């Protein structure tokens, strides 16, 4: 990358001059004065162009990735703290550079994959390799493959950011340590051992989260054993927050990370809905995470202390959130009493839906399809229907109204869900047979026999109870 900005150059190939593509700097996403900036990444920020500013990080992310692709910037660095790079996103055009044999030119050439550009040609492999390292550094390609005449890869050199792991947990990056690039990188070789990140020692996921989320004033671990780790914190306004973090040891699994991020984006798109838990912030260091308003607790923990009318209102609020999501073609498929966060315990209590199936989305990336009392029959076979949320709301309502889960005590929970014969809700409770009828329809094993929408189910349940 040239420190002087975009330019064109040419190299000799045979007797012709082949123009090089524009050489643009990486982009970076960084917070400044309460805004998220999309700007050029340079050692001296006085020389960097700022392209746009956004109030929300997620909007800046989308704009940065769009500019990266449209204007052929090689990559985008996303900063989670002044000295912590949370992640690096690469333009697919800059994923791979190769030194390989060209039978047509009878020479060793430096070329990007799937691009009709020859950066350099040489009769000797060593000279082509040295030129390839220079192009890797100048244009910020992700990696350089050196291929034998039969096409097999003999050596790979990664971008210096990757070699030093600046987006990994515990590695902090000092921009001032970045060395200037060679003045003539078309002929000089890049030093494979140059160091521009500054590793100041290991950090725990908790310490990295605290550094990445400046609005947290306290952070405690709740559960760090599963696919998604859980933390409790205090936001700057004094409100209780929860943080869901993709297990950092699994963050390298692209499918899992993508499913986590996609689920959070769907959740964030519903932020204006009162029955949807407020998303405080999102980030990617030390792996993808989301911080959200925790309320006064979960329906799982507090429901039994609430009146029947309040428990109905919790179901109605969850149904309202599910209906709002369905209008955007988002279908909640992991509704549980734990994902219903109580906003207020004043009678009647009010709730907001949180989580939106993050853990289930990540688990299925590892082909882990564990069964819970709130799993719909079709989910046992990896399928989802538009009425899957209705089934799950029915199972949640059963738990909140009866004080027990459907199919409690069954030896094989999956078989019990497939058979669809839970104990009648009215058995051993003060509930009426009309409640039995409503919940039986919601919990039908046939998705088409259920209520057509979450709202229709909530209305029917309210009529049965009142």
Per-residue pLDDT of the chain (466 residues; tens, 9 = 90+): 333 333 333 344 433 334 566 788 999 998 888 899 999 988 777 778 899 999 888 889 889 999 999 999 999 998 877 777 878 889 988 999 999 998 888 889 999 986 678 888 888 898 889 889 889 988 999 999 999 988 889 889 888 888 777 776 556 666 655 444 433 333 334 444 444 443 333 456 777 777 778 788 888 899 998 999 999 999 877 889 999 999 988 888 889 999 999 999 999 888 789 999 999 988 887 789 999 998 999 998 888 889 999 999 999 999 999 999 988 888 778 899 999 999 988 888 999 999 999 999 999 899 898 899 999 999 999 898 999 999 999 999 999 999 899 998 888 999 999 998 888 998 888 888 999 999 999 999 999 999 999 999 999 999 999 8
Instruction: Give the up-direction half-sphere exposure of residue 383: CA atoms within 13 A in the CB hemisphere.
Output: 9
**Whether residue 440 sits in one domain with residue 317:** yes
Inter-residue contact 313 to 348 (CB < 8 Å): yes
What domain count does the chain have? 3
**Whether residue 250 sits in one domain with residue 156:** no
* Token pair for 143: 């990696």
**Whether residue 168 sits in one domain with residue 216:** no
Look at residues 203, 224, 240 and tell me which one is the last residue of a structural domain: 203
**Whether residue 345 sits in one domain with residue 244:** no
Domain holding 250: CATH number?
3.30.200.20
pLDDT at residue 196, as a whole number: 41
Among candidate residues 75, 66, 70, 71, the one with its CA nearest the CA of residue 6 = 71
Domain holding 374: CATH number?
1.10.510.10
Pairwise CA distance, residues 359 & 236, whole Å? 27
pLDDT at residue 203, as a whole number: 53
Look at residues 153, 169, 203 and tell me which one is the last residue of a structural domain: 203
**Whether residue 311 sits in one domain with residue 274:** no
pLDDT at residue 322, as a whole number: 94
Letter string b/e over residues 376-401, b meaning 16 or more CB atoms within 10 A of that residue's CB: bbbbeeeeebebbbbbbbbbbbbbbb
**Whether residue 126 sits in one domain with residue 49:** yes
**Whether residue 303 sits in one domain with residue 284:** no
Look at residues 250, 266, 293 and tell me which one is the last residue of a structural domain: 293
pLDDT at residue 20, as a whole number: 64
**Whether residue 312 sits in one domain with residue 328:** yes
**Whether residue 229 sits in one domain with residue 194:** no
pLDDT at residue 171, as a whole number: 63
Domain span at residue 232? 208-293
**Whether residue 315 sits in one domain with residue 231:** no
**Whether residue 431 sits in one domain with residue 337:** yes
Inter-residue contact 256 to 227 (CB < 8 Å): yes
**Whether residue 393 sits in one domain with residue 264:** no
Inter-residue contact 373 to 413 (CB < 8 Å): yes
pLDDT at residue 19, as a whole number: 57
């Amino acid at each position: 990358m040239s420190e002087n900005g975009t330019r064109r150059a040419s190299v000799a190939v045979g007797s012709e001059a082949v123009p090089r593509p524009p050489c643009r700097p990486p982009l970076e996403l960084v917070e400044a004065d309460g805004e998220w900036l999309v700007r050029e990444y340079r050692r001296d920020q006085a020389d960097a162009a700022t392209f746009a500013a956004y109030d929300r990080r997620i909007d800046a992310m989308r704009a940065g990735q769009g500019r990266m692709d449209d204007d052929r910037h090689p990559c985008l660095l996303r900063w989670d703290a002044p000295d912590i790079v949370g992640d690096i996103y690469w333009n697919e055009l800059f994923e791979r550079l190769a030194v390989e044999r060209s039978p047509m030119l009878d020479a060793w050439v430096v070329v990007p994959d799937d691009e009709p550009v020859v950066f350099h040609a040489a009769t000797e492999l060593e000279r082509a390799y040295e030129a390839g390292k220079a192009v890797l550094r100048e244009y910020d390609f992700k990696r350089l493959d050196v291929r034998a005449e039969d096409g097999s890869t003999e050596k790979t050199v990664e971008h210096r950011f990757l070699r030093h792991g600046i987006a990994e947990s515990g590695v902090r990056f000092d921009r001032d340590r970045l060395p200037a690039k060679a003045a003539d990188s078309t002929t000089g070789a890049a030093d494979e051992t140059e160091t521009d990140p500054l590793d100041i020692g290991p950090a725990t996921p908790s310490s990295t989260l605290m550094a990445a989320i400046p609005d947290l004033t306290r952070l405690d671990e709740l559960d760090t054993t599963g696919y998604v780790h859980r933390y409790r914190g205090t936001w700057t306004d004094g409100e209780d927050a929860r943080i869901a973090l993709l297990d950092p040891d699994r963050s390298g699994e692209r499918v899992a990370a993508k499913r986590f991020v996609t689920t959070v984006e769907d959740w964030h798109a519903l932020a204006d809905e009162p029955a949807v838990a407020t998303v405080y912030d999102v980030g990617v260091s030390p792996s993808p995470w989301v911080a959200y308003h925790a309320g006064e607790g979960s329906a799982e923990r507090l429901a039994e202390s609430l009146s029947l009318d309040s428990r109905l209102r919790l179901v109605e609020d969850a149904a309202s959130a599910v209906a709002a999501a369905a209008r955007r073609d988002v279908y909640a498929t992991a509704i549980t009493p734990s994902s219903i966060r109580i906003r207020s315990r004043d009678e009647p209590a009010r709730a907001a839906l949180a989580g939106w199936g993050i853990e289930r989305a990540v688990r299925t990336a590892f082909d882990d399809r564990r069964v819970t009392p709130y799993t719909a029959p079709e989910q046992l076979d990896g399928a989802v229907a538009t009425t899957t949320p209705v089934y799950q709301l029915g199972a949640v309502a059963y738990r909140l109204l009866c004080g027990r889960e459907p199919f409690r005590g069954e030896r094989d929970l999956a078989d019990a869900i497939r058979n669809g014969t839970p104990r009648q809700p009215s058995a051993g409770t003060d509930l009426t047979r009309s409640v039995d009828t409503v919940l039986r329809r919601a919990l039908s094993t046939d998705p088409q026999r259920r209520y057509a929408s979450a709202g229709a189910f909530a209305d029917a349940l309210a009529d049965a109870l009142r």
